């Protein structure tokens, strides 16, 4: 059984408890960062939850940052593609997917990507070690990544969404720009924003569910819920479960 989300009873949208439409259950999953082992564990626990508490319409919402830092980026993308064949899924774009796909055409971004964990991703895609040893010879890395990236993976990255709204919730990888309508948010803010959003007390009209900024525990604010619990470093991959007015949590840090 999922655990109740501490602090959720304080959340309000227009003076009432936030909710999602009837007969719908959302499983929102935080930043995976190449931790296939944790993803498999979490998906198994979600499956057990659905078996124990059947629902008419389960929807999986993945908040981005599927790759980099952890050891199994390619295998994680394979697993997500497999999962969507039999489940209703929404895949959001993270800043790590954005920069990785841009590196296919923009060599100037490679150094930044490597600093963000791109080296682990290249290794997972089988880029030859002698190519990685060239260091600053970015053209060779770019060519090797082009050759190693399956077309199905390219299409997966290309088709990622910047945001998703359902009921009283708005899902984005990093957050939203304060004082800008949700319908007018820019990709750069949705994928990269931090302090300006995290410190904002603005009522956005919906509760923002996001990742991007790792915390030890799921973080509940008056206008947002952060579900990035630092999987690549902590071993904890978290899922926020939304059904009606209920909010609960399934994660990999305890046996559910």
Higher pLDDT, 195 or 132: 195
The total domain count for the chain is 1
Rounded distance between C-alpha atoms, residue 63 and residue 96, angstroms: 12
Q: How many CB atoms lie within 10 A of CB 113?
A: 21
pLDDT per residue as tens digits for the range 31-56? 999 999 999 999 999 999 999 999 99
Whether pLDDT at 140 is above 90: no
- CATH number, domain at 103? 3.60.21.10
Residue 197 lies in a domain: yes
Picking from 152, 168, 172, the residue whose alpha carbon sits closest to that of residue 91 is 172
pLDDT tens profile 6-40: 777 789 998 899 999 999 999 999 999 999 999 99
3-state helix, strand, coil in the chain (%, to 5): 40, 20, 40
Compare 134 and 243 and report the one with higher pLDDT.
Answer: 243
Domain of 179 in residue numbering reads as 19-249
Q: What is the pLDDT of residue 133?
A: 58
Residue 4 placed within a domain: no
Spatial separation of the C-alpha atoms in residues 72 and 123, rounded to whole Å: 9
Residue 6 CA from chain centroid, whole number: 21
> Rounded to an integer, what distance in angstroms lies between the CA atom of residue 205 and that of residue 9?
17
For residue 38, is it within any domain?
Answer: yes
**Do the domain assignments include residue 134?**
yes
Q: Three-state DSSP class for 97?
A: helix
Domain presence at residue 12? no
């Amino acid at each position: 059984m999922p655990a109740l989300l501490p602090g959720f009873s304080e959340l309000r949208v227009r003076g009432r408890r936030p909710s999602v439409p009837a007969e719908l259950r959302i499983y929102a999953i935080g930043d995976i960062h190449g931790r296939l082992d944790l993803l498999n564990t979490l998906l198994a626990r979600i499956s057990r939850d659905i078996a124990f508490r059947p629902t008419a319409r389960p929807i999986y919402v993945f908040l981005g940052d599927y790759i980099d830092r952890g050891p199994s980026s390619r295998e994680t993308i394979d697993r997500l593609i497999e999962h969507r064949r039999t489940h209703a899924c929404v895949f959001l774009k993270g800043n790590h997917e954005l920069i990785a796909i841009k590196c296919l055409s923009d060599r100037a971004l490679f150094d930044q990507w490597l600093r963000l964990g791109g080296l682990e991703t290249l290794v997972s895609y089988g880029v030859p070690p002698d190519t990685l040893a060239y260091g600053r010879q970015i053209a060779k890395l770019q060519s090797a990544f082009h050759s190693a990236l399956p077309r199905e993976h390219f299409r997966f990255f290309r088709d990622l969404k910047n945001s998703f709204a359902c009921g009283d919730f708005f899902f984005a990888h990093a957050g939203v720009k304060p004082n800008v309508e949700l319908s007018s948010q820019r990709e750069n803010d949705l994928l990269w924003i931090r302090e300006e959003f995290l410190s904002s007390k603005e009522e956005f009209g919906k509760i923002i569910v996001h990742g991007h900024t790792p915390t030890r525990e799921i973080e509940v604010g008056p206008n947002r819920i952060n579900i990035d619990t630092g999987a690549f470093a902590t071993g904890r991959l978290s899922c926020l479960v939304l059904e009606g007015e209920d909010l609960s949590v399934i994660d990999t840090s305890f046996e559910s």
